[in-house]
Amino acid sequence: MTALISALLAFSLAMPEAAVAAAKPKSKQAVQKSAKSARVLAQRAAASKKAAARKAHYSTKTSRKGATKYATSASRSAFKRVVAHEPFKYKLQTYDVVPEALLLASNAAVVFNENNGEVLFSKNNQAPMPIASITKLMTAMVTLDAKLPMDELVTIDEADVDKLKNTSSRLQVGTTLTRAELLLLALMSSENRAAAALGRTYPGGIHAFVNKMNAKANAIGMKHALFYDSTGLNSGNVASAADLVMMVQAAYDYPEIRRYSTTPEYEVFLPSGRRLAYNNTNALVKEDEWQIGLSKTGFLSEAGKCLVMQATISNTPLVIVLLDSVGKYTRLADANRIKAWLEKGGGAKMLYVRS
């Protein structure tokens, strides 16, 4: 027993001082110091992770709210991105990004720059869709191409009455107007009986007229266009938004279409003494802040609200196409959104790449 005790005593004397200190319980002060160090390390790790996330946020092209501001150069040809407290710099490259997203209610849309042929905005631009009374732009071109006398009197016939959609008209059967007046009412007020009469009185009748409409569409490069009538009441009249850019450009070459489609209002005086007041179906033609060179609206339940225009915004001639919009004023609201977007620099080409 004595020998065992002596051996244990000798072993304890041989232990290093550091090991003895480690074997002793830690003091309260040491424990607190250790915990504090752990908290500091955790805080540093969290801060590092947060900084990395913030850096990734700023480097993502779709995440520029809040800290991002845009300044337009004197030529308005490019934008500089100014980021508050940004951890790295950017250099300017090219790619489509805008100061803020352009969100439209229309299901298909195109904004086309006529100066350089650039598409500034596009949404479902290749999808064939019913175009309703946008059809009447083609009706006008085919009518004018025929070189028929525009002062010739044309009488509304029973055949001009809409039996497909049963839409109403103030042009009663027996009403007589000049061909020019019928074209004016078809374009500015989307008068269906006027458009039907134009097709009916074409040489060869309505079938020859529709064939000419499709031939014209093919000639100007409308890949998805198909026409069945002169009014647009047939939902089989379809085209893509891209097709309609070409149709608007072709129609713009006709002075009568430019003038008639943007006439704000017109009065028809009937032989009976009755007066019919018509207004343009596009209210924007009456607004001073808009410079509209050509306009046409359309509506069918199958097509939604439609609008095409040639307009000048910020000294740039544009074609705007809006198809399948829902709501009474939505297509006009979309047009105003586009105008505001362009005036703020939307459509400029930019890319921000980390340098």
Name the binding residues for substrate.
296
| Residues designated as active site | 133, 136, 190
Instruction: State the residue for tokens 């307009």.
Output: 311
Distance CA 241, CA 14 (A): 93
Residue spans of beta strands (DSSP E) within the chain: 68-72, 79-83, 90-96, 108-113, 118-123, 129-130, 153-155, 176-178, 238-239, 265-269, 275-279, 291-300, 304-313, 316-325, 349-354
DSSP 135: H
The token pair at 166 is 């049963």
Nearest to 220 by CA among 197, 242, 191: 242
Bridge partners of residue 204, in order along the sequence: none
Which residue, 144, 171, 342, is CA-closest to 250? 144
Nearest Cα to Cα of residue 308 among 224, 242, 215: 242
CA distances from 249 to 140, 285, 308 (A): 13, 18, 11
- CB contact at 8 A, 208 and 268: no
Q: Rounded to an integer, what is the distance from CA 83 to the centroid of its chain? A: 27
Angle (nearest 5°) at CA 166 between 163 and 170: 105
**C-beta separation of 249 from 132 below 8 A:** no
Residue type, 20: V
DSSP 3-state assignment of 92?
Answer: strand
What is the three-class DSSP state of 190? coil
